[in-house]
Structure 1
Amino acid sequence: MAGPIRRRAGEPEAAGADDPLSGLAPLLRVQPHLDDVCRFGGAWAAPHEQEPARQAYFHLVTRGQATLWRPGRAPLQVTAGDILLLPRGDAHVFHGVGPPPSTQLPVTVRHAQSLRFKTTVGAEPDVELICGRLAFEAAPQTLIVTALPDLLVLSVGAQPLATRFAPLLAGIREELNDLRAGAVAVAENLASALFMMMLRAHLETSAPAEGLLRLLGQPLTARAVRAMVRDPVHPWTLDELAATAAASRASLVRAFRAAAGVAPLEFLTDLRLGLAHHRLRTETVSLDRLAAEVGYQSAAALSRAFLRKYGVRPGQARQAEAPPTAG
């Protein structure tokens, strides 16, 4: 994979993008989870292990400078105003500017609401990081992830669009500093908006990427994708999708395979199953109703397709996502 892609807010839009976000937005269905507010100084390091599937790491650098280290990659210096996204949840370590410390200062951890506040002991903090995870909850998750580089960095700084990004960063930081009622929920909603703006900046400053972004960046495939996103329950045929895209069946299949490695109806299956998976995670709904609402003729048909895609039945997936009962 290519190295980190660093975007500067406000650079001109790539030609021919055909407004990819109008198709991307309903697919993203992401849920940010804020985990840590880190205030470090002196000799410090903050390791992050590989995250499970569907979990991306993100970090907001709200003060100072730090170094991001990833196995097999050159160290990356980050500074206040940088927003980092690791879509595949790769293992990485943050530490202070310069080489990794041989010894580290102890860190105190204070819990407040659902957050951990981590602070070094024995040194005045000069770096602040807000760290969290982003769950890709809807379909097609694999295409969303493959559409992005291993590391995406948005440098807000003093760029022309800083007036749009800076208030969101400041709002998140203020909510987490004050911790008033509902602060984490407000901050996570701001983080969700920030993530969407980050993707928009990525799209506006690059040629269409592989996978989903490439599908949405080409008018022929974008028309078919948007039709399926608007009405995934419709019994789409390849003929209908080709007509919607104003292309021949063969041309549409070639374009989908070239962009994302799947045929149009495979994409539709991923979309439906991803929506079903999302609803199983977030709602209590019968399998019969769920099947009808995501485009399957029966619960049995949904269950078979779900098993092929995820390796478990829908009921098992629902149980796996259920919160533990109090003992």
Structure 2
Amino acid sequence: MPGAETDELLKAMVPLLRIRPVIDDSCRFGGTWESLHAPNGRGWAQFHMVTRGSCLVERPGLGPQRLDAGDILLLPHGDSHAVRSQANGVATRISSEIRNGIRQRRTVDARADTEFLCGRFLFEMSDENPLIAALPDEIVVRTAGEPLLERFRRLLIDIRDELDAGRVGSQMVAADLARALFVMMLRDHLADEGSGNGTVSLLRDRATARVVLAILNDLARDWTLDEMAAVAVSSRATLVRAFRKHAGIAPMTFLSDLRLTIARKRLAGTTDPIAKIAGDVGYASESALSKAIMRRYGLRPGALRMAEPGP
């Protein structure tokens, strides 16, 4: 990336990489099982690291995501979701015990064929960082058979081995390794021009970055194209061309999509009242947001946050 075009992105990225991870669960499951995860609130991300076998992650309004051994899934907005076996049927009972500060979860009367770690981390300064909103619904790293991702795989194995050993301080060591892993994931995602993240692409250009940052700082404002052009210090036509070049859409379409995307993330990742979310992202009423959510995702807003904590 040319240095002159990345100033705004780099400024926003640095505080984003200050994270505090917490490893909550070490899971060894077999048979038919399901584990539900409630939203964690603003600033909290959730993650799953699969070390053996495979599983499915499902979220209301979005398609299922299959994870296999060596895969690392990051949900930057802490969405409510379910992790389950690929097989359907009556769920096997899950037992839990705390060991070395980590909850050990196992299926009862079913040999484990899938193992993974679950946790979350807090983005420090999340309220001030526009890239939090710009991050996608999920970031997945698939390390199996990828020589270029050997560093991720080594960290994943080290985290698992540290927790399995159960030595004094293992939880702290594993958390530090996890911090390094996720900083690398976020850094690589934000630096990847081919990631398909339109908002991040816009932040690489000085003029469009001014507009994106202004919108993210005042999403409820009734923005006009003239106001956006004034922020960008450009003409309307120049701004439209720049948005189409970097994101493939016009500025007003970007604004509409961003409002709906952030509303979905707030609904799935927090327990904030729907009316408050509607006002914060620029919808005239809760009803207007509900209609937009239904058109885009085929669900009512409340259905995006139905998951409850696992047993």
Are the structure 2 counterparts of residues 109 and 195 from structure 1 closer, same or farther at C-alpha, using a change threshold of 3 Å?
same
1:193 deviates by 1.1
**Corresponding residue for residue 233 of structure 2:** 250
Distance 2:103 2:91 in 1: 19
1:126 deviates by 0.8
> Residue 82 of structure 1 aligns to which amino acid in structure 2?
D
**Corresponding residue for residue 79 of structure 2:** 90
The one of 42, 61, 66 equivalent to 2:50 is: 61
Residue correspondences, number: 226
1:214 deviates by 4.1
Distance 1:178 1:105 in 2: 27
The one of 175, 183, 188 equivalent to 1:188 is: 175
User: Structure 2: which 5+ runs fail to align?
Assistant: 211-230, 244-250, 256-279, 281-311
Give deviations 1:12-65, integer Å, cap 9, x for gaps.
x89997495575133432111110001000111111112211111111111111
- 2:108 paired with 1:125: no
1:218 deviates by 2.7
> Residue 103 of structure 2 aligns to which amino acid in structure 1?
R
What does 1:29-178 correspond to in 2, within 5 Å? 29-98=18-87, 100-101=88-89, 103-141=90-128, 143-178=130-165
Distance 1:81 1:96 in 2: 17
- TM (norm. structure 2) is 0.62
Q: Which aligned runs of 4 or more in structure 1 are off by greater than 4 angstroms?
A: 13-23, 139-142, 219-223, 258-261
1:75 deviates by 2.0
1:114 deviates by 2.0
Are the structure 2 counterparts of residues 208 and 69 from structure 1 closer, same or farther at C-alpha, using a change threshold of 3 Å?
closer
Q: Is the CA contact (8 Å cut-off) linking 2:17 and 2:186 kept in structure 1?
A: no
Distance 1:167 1:22 in 2: 30
Give deviations 1:100-140, integer Å, cap 9, x for gaps.
43x21111111012210001111111111100011112145
Are the structure 2 counterparts of residues 124 and 14 from structure 1 closer, same or farther at C-alpha, using a change threshold of 3 Å?
farther
Greater RCO (Cα-Cα under 8 Å, separation 6 or more)? 2
**Corresponding residue for residue 194 of structure 2:** 206
SS at match of 1:36: strand
SS at match of 2:147: coil
Q: Is the CA contact (8 Å cut-off) linking 2:16 and 2:129 kept in structure 1?
A: no
Are the structure 2 counterparts of residues 118 and 58 from structure 1 closer, same or farther at C-alpha, using a change threshold of 3 Å?
same
Are the structure 2 counterparts of residues 148 and 123 from structure 1 closer, same or farther at C-alpha, using a change threshold of 3 Å?
same
The one of 5, 8, 14 equivalent to 1:25 is: 14
Q: Is the CA contact (8 Å cut-off) linking 2:15 and 2:124 kept in structure 1?
A: no
Give deviations 1:191-228, integer Å, cap 9, x for gaps.
111112112332325257355x34652356789xxxxx
Distance 2:209 2:171 in 1: 36
> Residue 44 of structure 1 aligns to which amino acid in structure 2?
W
**Corresponding residue for residue 263 of structure 2:** none
Are the structure 2 counterparts of residues 130 and 141 from structure 1 closer, same or farther at C-alpha, using a change threshold of 3 Å?
farther
- TM (norm. structure 1) is 0.59
Distance 2:178 2:209 in 1: 27
SS at match of 1:197: helix
SS at match of 1:199: helix
Greater CA deviation, 167-176 or 67-76?
Answer: 67-76
1:89 deviates by 1.2
Percent of aligned pairs sharing the same letter? 40
Are the structure 2 counterparts of residues 24 and 221 from structure 1 closer, same or farther at C-alpha, using a change threshold of 3 Å?
farther
**Corresponding residue for residue 239 of structure 1:** none
Q: Is the CA contact (8 Å cut-off) linking 2:25 and 2:117 kept in structure 1?
A: yes
Are the structure 2 counterparts of residues 145 and 26 from structure 1 closer, same or farther at C-alpha, using a change threshold of 3 Å?
closer
Are the structure 2 counterparts of residues 28 and 34 from structure 1 closer, same or farther at C-alpha, using a change threshold of 3 Å?
same
SS at match of 1:75: strand
Are the structure 2 counterparts of residues 207 and 65 from structure 1 closer, same or farther at C-alpha, using a change threshold of 3 Å?
closer
Distance 2:203 2:177 in 1: 25
Cα RMSD over matched residues? 3.7
